[in-house]
Each structure stands twice: as C-alpha cells, then as structure tokens.
Structure 1
Amino acid sequence: MKAVLDGVVIAEADRDDLASIEGNWYFPPQSVREGALHKSPTPYTCPWKGTAQYWNVALDGAELTDGAWSYPDLYPGAVERVGKDFAGYVAFDRKVVVSD
C-alpha cells in the first residue's frame, strides 16, 4: 500500500505489514520515506492508545501540517485490542491518499 500526498509517495509497505485501526492505516516506521516527517508540537492523547506524536509532512514539495501521527508509547491493553504491536506506526490525515 502507498501513502501519497500531492503525487509524492510518503510511505509504502505490504498490506500485511500495516495495522488498520479505527478507519486509518498505520504504516510501520521503516516504510516512511526518510526525511518526510518532522515533529509537531500539537498535543493529543487517545484514551486507549496513549499520547500521540503528531508530524508535519514535508517531502519533495508536498507539505501538510499535522499530516501524520503515531503512538510511540502505547497504553497497556492497546496491542491486545488491535491484535498487533503498532507502537511507532504512522497514520496519515485524510488529505494523504492511502491505496493499494
């Protein structure tokens, strides 16, 4: 699967390597192109996943503030709820097109 912003591939991985959570595809961190994500100070905490790290997406002219997020330190029970360890996996804003 690919995550594409303004024609630029931001991440790419096999579907089996991703996690599908609440309508979002979470990509393994190693599948995200180097230099595509830049830490954002935007705060958010999910009641069952934990504290999110938001990311600004900027690569090859494609830019989106707070266009991605991940959960580096999952709350107890999150892995069991999803059925997969998704710590550090990256999900994208709806403006980033995720497709096969």
Structure 2
Amino acid sequence: MKATWNNQILAESEAIVVIENNHYFPIESVKTEFLKSSDTHTICPWKGTASYYTLVVDGEVNKDAAWYYPEPKEAAAEIAGYVAFWKGVKIS
C-alpha cells in the first residue's frame, strides 16, 4: 500500500493495519521529512487521544492530514507506532 499526496509518496508498506476504513502505516514506512507536528488533538472513545501532523510537500501545506495515537487504549493497541492519512491523501 502507498499513501501519496502532491505527487509524492508519503508512506509505503505491506504491514498496514485497517481500522474503520483507515489505513495505518508503520511509522518506519513513513517519510517523516514531510510531517510537521501539529497542536491538534482529538479524542476517540475507544482508541484514545489522537495527535496530528501537517503535511508539507514542495511548499504545499495540508493541515492535520495525518494522525496517530501516541498512547492508544488497549482496544487499539495494534496501531501504536502507526500513522493514518486523510484530507486528499490517496491510499492505493
């Protein structure tokens, strides 16, 4: 699986975890040079508190287009160390 945005591969891995139709990529498969930490956080009742990254590719910015759970709840332990994408990021 690949995550692409703005003609750039952001992540590529066969070790994907799919939860609620979201594809989570292992952090080691993500090109972290395109990630900028965000102050945004949301809460999922069963996964825990999500933190976000803003994507920056070739000067283009996609605010909060990636998220992860730094300390997922036990029910979502399998996505610890994984990153998911949305907001126009193509998963193929």
Aligned to 1:20: 18
Partner residue, 2:43 = 45
Alpha-carbon distance in structure 2 between the residues aligned to 1:24 and 1:52: 14
- 1:98 and 1:8, CA in 2 relative to 1: closer, same or farther beyond 3 A? same
**Ranges in structure 1 where 5+ consecutive residues have no aligned partner:** 80-84
**2:9 aligned with 1:6:** no
Q: Is the 8 A contact 1:3 1:97 kept in 2?
A: yes
Equivalent position to 1:57, from 55, 70, 78: 55
Instruction: Give the whole-Å Cα distance in 2 for the aligned partners of 1:65 and 1:94.
Output: 8
2:88 pairs with 1:90: no
Count of aligned residue pairs for this structure pair: 92
Does the 8 Å contact 2:23/2:85 carry over to 1? yes
Q: Hey, which bits of structure 1, 4+ residues long, moved more than 3 A?
A: none
Quote the residue 2:31 is aligned against: 33
The percentage of aligned residue pairs carrying the same residue is: 43
How much is the aligned-residue C-alpha RMSD, in angstroms? Answer: 1.3
Hey, what's the Cα distance between the residues in 2 that align with 1:29 and 1:12?
10
Higher share in strand: 2
Please, which runs of 5 or more residues in structure 2 have no aligned partner? Answer: none
How far apart, CA to CA, are the structure 2 residues paired with 1:8 and 1:92? 13
